[in-house]
Every structure is written in C-alpha cells, then in structure tokens.
Amino acid sequence: MATDQLTTPIDARVIPSLSLPERLLRARTSEVSGHGFAFQGHRRTGRHSDLLKRGVDVAVGSLTLVVAAPVMAIVMIAVRLDSPGPLFVSQVRMGKDLRPFRLYKFRSMSADAAVLRGRVESMNDAAWPLFKVRRDPRVTRVGKVLRRFSLDELPQLLNVLRGEMSLVGPRPPLPAELDVDFVRQAHRLRAVPGMTGLWQVSGRSDLDYVQMVRLDLRYTRARSVLLDLAILLRTIPAAVLGRGAY
C-alpha cells in the first residue's frame, strides 16, 4: 500500500456514549440528526475564541436581561407575596481556575430552608456530593414553578455580565465538591462555568454526578462558539418542558 494512502486524513464521526474514555472526547463537535453531538478532530481554543465567547455573553446576556426584565419583576412580586423572606439567595460557587464567586438565584424555598435541611437529608435522591430532593417540602408554591421552568436562575444573568459565569459552560460546583473530586473539578473549571451546558440539555437533575462531570469535561475540551449556540438552542425547549427539573 502506498505511503500517501496511509496518511490521508479522514473525517470520522461518532455519537458518543457516556462510557467512552475521556481521551477520545477532546474534539470539535456538531449535532447529528438531533440524536447527540458528533466529535471530530481535536482543536484547541485560543485567546481570540475566548474573546469572541465573552463578546457573545455580554451581547446576548444584556439583551436577555432587558427582555426578561418584565418576567423578573413578576417573579419578584410572586416570591414576595408567596412567603416571607428575601427575594434572592446566594451561594458560594467555584468559578474558572477555582476562583470562588457568589451565584444568585430567586428564592424558591422557605426562608428557614438551611435550618430545616437536616430533616430532609434522608430524602436525598442524588448520590454524594450532590443533594437533590424531588419532593422537597421546603420548596414554596411559587418556587416549584420557578424551578420547573428555570426562572429562579434568571438573576445569574448578572453573574454573566460580571464575567463570573458564561451563558454556556460547566456547572459551577460547590466548594465541598472539590474535597470529593478535586482533580476532575479542576479540569472542568478550565472553562468559565455556565448558566446552561451539556448537563442542562441532557437531563439536568436526572443525571448522576459521574454523568454530569463527564459531560462537563467533554464541553471543556471541545468548547466553541458554535457549540455554545447549539446548546443555547437546545436549552429553550429543555427549560419550557421542564425536563429533569425539581
């Protein structure tokens, strides 16, 4: 066989499963027939790509904040009338390169939710280090609606404009998660964490911890503006239908 035949490049595409080794997922992606993301030849992201991504975050985030302002005003009124307590809650999360920041949400639980956590520890539907309760009694009536349609996450647009988050990226972990899985968390957070990501459009709370981390690692290694746009488009029906949200 001729040498040039051995070195001729080919364009191979696969629809990956979660069981594929991570080394095979360092790739450029595209969506294939609505069934998943195809992974092609490896490509590194550079400074110009990061600047373009930041530009998209600022432009789309600002526009979304303006469009969502009436909805956010209605949500604030509903939260205030539904139960006593603050309109917003914040959590310390880990950002890019393990830098901590405060993530903001509309309050969807009773004001004493932290005090009552001990009563629902045994109801955890997720494996450590995640904590998810499908029928959490601490969630308010309005909170159930906010969570189902991800409206409680709208204040994170401010995190995006401040540069602490991106519209698309890995899930921002809690500091305690670094104690459990520091190496993989550090790899995930080579990218700016996002309001949505592969984990969001692939099952959200229905995913276990390992699945979520693997999806985030895939995104971190294959990220591009085109992939971000594909994920944003898939986020809209996922939020409207409330798949995996509780």
197 neighbors 231 (Cβ within 8 angstroms): yes
Summarize pLDDT for 30-69 with one digit per residue, the tens.
444 444 444 444 444 556 688 899 999 999 999 999 999 9
Scored b (16 or more CB within 10 A) or e, 85-119 reads beeebeeebbbbeeeebebbbbbbbbeebeeeeee
Look-up of token digits 């373009």 = 52
Confidence of residue 209 (pLDDT cuts 50, 70, 90): confident
In-domain check, residue 200: yes
Of the candidates 188, 190, 191, 168, the one whose C-alpha atom is nearest the C-alpha of residue 177 is 188
In-domain check, residue 176: yes
In-domain check, residue 34: no
In-domain check, residue 4: no
**Rounded-to-integer distance, Cα 93 and Cα 79, Å:** 23
In-domain check, residue 232: yes
103 neighbors 158 (Cβ within 8 angstroms): no
- Domain coverage including residue 134: 41-241
Summarize pLDDT for 58-105 with one digit per residue, the tens.
999 999 999 999 999 999 999 999 999 999 999 999 999 889 999 999
Look-up of token digits 């693997």 = 214
The number of distinct structural domains making up the chain is: 1
What is the per-residue pLDDT for 114?
87
In-domain check, residue 16: no
In-domain check, residue 209: yes
In-domain check, residue 10: no
Of the candidates 221, 141, 145, 159, the one whose C-alpha atom is nearest the C-alpha of residue 196 is 159
Summarize pLDDT for 138-165 with one digit per residue, the tens.
999 999 999 999 999 999 999 999 999 9
What is the per-residue pLDDT for 25?
42
Could you tell me the pTM of the whole model? Answer: 0.76
* 100 bridge partner residues: 94
